[in-house]
Amino acid sequence: MKQALLAIAVVAGAAALATAVPVSAQLSSRPARPQVIPPQGPVRQIIFKNCTSCHGIDDYAYHALDKTAWSALIEDRHKNKPVKLAVADRDQLVDWLVSKFGPGTKPFPRAYVPPEITTFFSDTEAQAVLARSCTTCHDLERVNTGRFSPDRWRVLTVDMRERGAKIADEELERLVEWLGRTKGTNPNQ
């Protein structure tokens, strides 16, 4: 009985400690990863049949390649593990890759590791950063209506920075924390 109570106390203490540390500090030691939304239709079937049994599709976002380079990358990555992909399927896959991650796109950065933050944005500070960083390309409706986890907000914000948004690492993390807190996945917000 005493051991069960001790185990419950240890679990409760660990849970209290985990919730006392800001989410951004808990996640800050791992690099941000892109999140690729799988396509619909035939390309989706090709990817699920031939690709995802060995690897995810998020790594596609680290590249911005033309048709020849995508074909070469696929060949290089599979030279020791040949993929039995029909020519028509390979062509369809490569066409989709070029349309999503072609030479006209900006690849997701490989090196971004979120810094730990200890100060947090007020609503006014966050709105000022959004107005300065985001509204040069689009209105804030897409931000205000979005409901994402902090990890997803981080991916979106890093991607926007790669597209030209002017925001430093610490500012980005403070914004991600604020977005996760005020525009998180809780549908009642």
Q: Which of 25-34, 42-51, 112-121, 151-160 has the lowest mean pLDDT?
A: 25-34
pLDDT for the residue numbered 10: 44
Query: What residue spans in the chain does CATH classification 1.10.760.10 cover?
Result: 117-189
Q: What is the mean pLDDT of residues 121-144?
A: 92
Residue from 55, 53, 77, 54 nearest 65 by CA: 77
pLDDT for the residue numbered 23: 45
Q: Is the dihedral of CA 121, 123, 125, 129 positive or negative?
A: positive
Q: How confident is the model at residue 187 (pLDDT cuts 50, 70, 90)?
A: low
pLDDT for the residue numbered 43: 94
The answer, yes or no, to whether residue 87 has pLDDT greater than 70, is: yes
Q: How confident is the model at residue 28 (pLDDT cuts 50, 70, 90)?
A: very low
Q: What is the mean pLDDT of residues 69-97?
A: 89
| 168-182 pLDDT, tens digit each | 889 999 999 999 999
What fold does the segment set 42-101 form as a domain? Cytochrome Bc1 Complex; Chain D, domain 2 (1.10.760)
pLDDT for the residue numbered 188: 56
Residue from 18, 23, 20, 17 nearest 150 by CA: 23
CA distance 72 to 7: 54
pLDDT for the residue numbered 20: 41
The first and second tokens of residue 47, run together, are 């990817």
Q: Which of 28-37, 142-151, 158-167 has the lowest mean pLDDT?
A: 28-37
What fold does the segment set 117-189 form as a domain? Cytochrome Bc1 Complex; Chain D, domain 2 (1.10.760)
Q: How confident is the model at residue 155 (pLDDT cuts 50, 70, 90)?
A: confident
Structural contact between residues 97 and 65, judged by C-beta atoms closer than 8 angstroms: yes
The answer, yes or no, to whether residue 3 has pLDDT greater than 80, is: no
Q: Is the dihedral of CA 179, 139, 108, 95 positive or negative?
A: positive
